[in-house]
Amino acid sequence: MWYGDARSRVAVVIVMLVGLWLVLSGVPGSAQERSQPPTPARKPIIVCSTTQVADFTRQVVGDACEVRCILAPGADPHTYMPTPGDAKLALSADLCLQNGLHLEGKNWMATLAKDAGKPLATCTDGVKPLELEAEGQKIADPHAWFSPRNAAIYINNIVKAVSALDPSKAADFRARAKLYLQQLRVLDSWIREQFNAIPPEQRILVTSHDAFNYLSTEYGFQNRAPVGWSTGAEVGAGVTPERRKQVIASIKSFGVKAVFVETSVNPKLVREIAREAGVKVGGTLYSDSMGEIGTAGDTYIGMMRENVLTIIDALK
């Protein structure tokens, strides 16, 4: 009989013991262990369009992902033309991140991601954009990061995108984001306190192009710029003689103490306006891009801090 056979009995016992061992070894913490995906062979690569987006992303992912940025510090996202190297970089990406609201002139980041067949997340999703009126058209102002409150929205969008990319690290991403959001809160509070030292009637910000509306709206400044929302050739962008005249008139009528040039825009025009209006150039502001690595403005918080101090020193 089958069960009477000694070898068969031994085989059945062995099979049962192996089964028992499998059951027991699989049980403790099994749910948690099963949910963890295998360790990836390489770090995921995230390709960002602008320096600000790249900095926000690094704050969230730490060393868990490799963060690369298309724009170099000081580069202008409105007029940037992607290179073959950028296309190659996009091909290597696991995720692409852009500012959105047409900051990337002619949607170059979306095009790079699409051509490479890579997922793209937009950091300004959910931002309530300021609207600029230009040539009868309403244009959403893309410079949303100049309000730390909006920077918090960028962070939330990045957390969502990178958590989808690597769910096993989502808890770490959220923990880092929480700390960074606290830093943004402190930054916001510090900016309010600092700008409070400038009398309200002197809070007029004259810059190269229309990039500081969010900063101005958040902290009670009036904003004047000879160049529109973009330095490129889009609707409502570029310099017009009319805008130039208005800016000079504003400087004279409001008794503006100083005007500011920007790191990513040619300073020639603002210097001419300053000379014409008889005011000083108060300094250089980081606008569409952060500073070179090793400078005080090589992070978002650093660039905001330095901008605020430059404005206060000139207008107080």
Partner 1 sequence: MRPALTVLIWLVLVGGLAFYMNHRTAVHNAPHVDLHAADGQVTVEVTTTFPLEPDPFALHGSGSDDAPALVVRVNGRDVLRRTERVEAGSPIRVDSVSGLAQGKNEIYVEANPPLDMAGKSQAVRVRVLQDSSVIADRSLWSDEANKIAAAFAVNIEAPQPKERDTHGH
Distance CA 236, CA 231 (A): 10
Residue from 159, 162, 251, 285 touching partner 1 (CB under 8 A): that is 159
Among 181, 177, 157, which residue's Cα sits nearest to residue 64?
A: 177
In terms of Cβ atoms closer than 10 Å to its own Cβ (0-12, 13-18, 19+), residue 187 is middle
Quick one: 27 or 41, whose CB is closer to partner 1? 27
Paired residues of 222 in beta bridges:
204
Among 10, 16, 72, 249, binds partner 1 (CB under 8 A): 16
Please state the closest distance from residue 35 (CB atom) to partner 1, in A: 14
Q: CB under 8 A: which stretch of 33-41, 90-98, 153-161, 273-281 binds partner 1? A: 153-161
- Select from 16-24, 77-85, 296-304, 306-314 the region that touches partner 1 (CB under 8 A): 16-24
Given the complex with partner 1, which of 54 and 155 has the nearer CB atom? 155
Q: Is 152 in the site for partner 1 (CB under 8 A)?
A: yes
Residue number with CB closer to partner 1 (11 or 87): 11
Cβ–Cβ < 8 Å for 118, 109: no
Binding of residue 27 to partner 1 (CB under 8 A) = yes
Using rule CB under 8 A, residue 182 touches partner 1 = yes
d(CA 51, CA 300): 9
With CB under 8 A as the contact rule, which of the stretches 70-78, 188-196, 206-214, 225-233 interacts with partner 1? 188-196
In DSSP terms, 232 is beta-bridged to none
**Phi (first) and psi of residue 82, to 5 degrees:** -60, 150
Q: Which of 6, 23, 41, 81 binds partner 1 (CB under 8 A)?
A: 23
Which helix or strand (DSSP H or E) is residue 284 part of? strand 280-285
Per CB under 8 A, 293 contacts partner 1: no
Q: What is the CA radius of gyration of the chain?
A: 27
* CB of residue 298 to partner 1, shortest distance in Å: 23
Amino acid residing at 47 = V
Nearer to partner 1, 171 or 235 (CB): 171
Which positions from 194 through 223 interact with partner 1, judged by CB under 8 A? 196
**Judged by CB under 8 A, which of 76, 86, 166, 188 binds partner 1?**
188
Stretch in the footprint of partner 1 (CB under 8 A) among 114-122, 145-153, 237-245, 294-302: 145-153
Residue (of 128, 71, 124) closest to 102 by Cα position: 124
Contacts of 239-246 spanning 24+ positions with Cβ under 8 A? 239/269, 244/269, 244/273
Which residues have a Cβ under 8 Å from the Cβ of 217 and sit 6 or more positions away? 130, 147
d(CA 24, CA 32): 16
The answer to the question of residue 123 lying near partner 1 (CB under 8 A) is no
The β-bridge partners of 95 are 46
The residue type at 79: T
Cβ at position 50, least distance to partner 1 in Å? 21
Count how many Cα atoms sit within 13 Å of the Cα of residue 39 in the half-sphere of its side chain.
2
Q: What minimum distance in Å lies between the beta carbon of 16 and partner 1?
A: 6
Q: For binding to partner 1 (CB under 8 A), which residues are involved?
A: 2-3, 12, 16, 19-20, 23-24, 27-31, 148-149, 152, 155-156, 159-160, 163, 174, 177-178, 181-182, 184-186, 188-190, 192-193, 196
